[in-house]
Amino acid sequence: MRKNEILKRSYHIPLPMFDAAFRCFQKKFVMPMNLVFTVILLVLAGDFIYAAVRDPGNTTAYLLTVICLALILVRWYRMFKLRRSVHEALAEIEQDRYELTVYADGMTLRTEDAPKPAAEEAAAEKPEVTEEPEQSGEQGGGFQKLFPDEPAEDENAPKPTDIYFGKGVKLLEYPEFFMVYLVRSNFYVIPKKDFSEAEIQQLSELFAKNK
């Protein structure tokens, strides 16, 4: 069990905030690579165009120019398409709440159990009436079950995410939220609105220390 717990807080991420965070993520980590890729392909396309001008019959140069421009368009299109796909996926779980536990050496993030609908809660509270089978020597060998069946674990239940500060983890602060980026894996948004001023300051100092 991890020790040195600093704070524990439940929070909710509004969809517009996650949209803004995802744009910040792309601007910080995706767009620079796209720009490098675009510049390289534009230089190549310029060389091919120059070759085509010098030799109008050079169909290969025309073809390679078109390929370079198409690759540029595809790369930028995929970035904006991913943004839309993420928005649509998160719209379905916008009401989910999360729990953050911060330690001196990292943090744990988990999804809280979604609230049950009122009808479901009422059904859960109402005991189910079942007929008890008659005990006899012929059924069950005359022995009663001494231990009740243990509830089966839900394999589909989301597992907590343990994050340790250090290499491969980037911690960023923005006016309305913190961003925790696991390089080439995933990123998490921690909204400031659900934390007190003292807690925000505490997180800010901890993240700045472990950048």
Average the pLDDT over 2-23 and give the result: 91
Higher pLDDT, 177 or 129: 177
* pLDDT reported for residue 193: 95
For the stretch 85-107, pLDDT in tens is 999 998 888 889 999 999 989 99
What whole-number distance in Å separates Cα of residue 153 and Cα of residue 134? 30
- Res 116 pLDDT > 50: no
For the stretch 64-84, pLDDT in tens is 999 999 999 999 999 999 999
* pLDDT reported for residue 75: 95
What whole-number distance in Å separates Cα of residue 1 and Cα of residue 129? 41
Residue 185 φ then ψ, to 5°: -130, -70
Q: Any idea which residue has 């921690």 for tokens?
A: 190
Q: Any idea which residue has 């970035």 for tokens?
A: 79
User: What band does 150 get if pLDDT is binned at 50, 70 and 90?
Assistant: low
Higher pLDDT, 124 or 38: 38
Residues 6+ apart with CB under 8 A from 73: none
Average the pLDDT over 162-169 and give the result: 91
Higher pLDDT, 68 or 130: 68
What the block records as the tokens of 21 is 């965070």
Mean pLDDT of the chain, nearest integer: 83
Q: What percent of the chain has pLDDT over 70?
A: 77
What whole-number distance in Å separates Cα of residue 125 and Cα of residue 148? 19
Q: How far is CA 191 from CA 108, 161, 181, 196, 200, in A?
A: 15, 17, 14, 11, 10
Higher pLDDT, 62 or 121: 62
User: What's CA 18's distance to the chain center, in Å?
Assistant: 10
What whole-number distance in Å separates Cα of residue 169 and Cα of residue 178? 13
- Res 119 pLDDT > 50: no
- Res 56 pLDDT > 80: yes
pTM of the model: 0.72
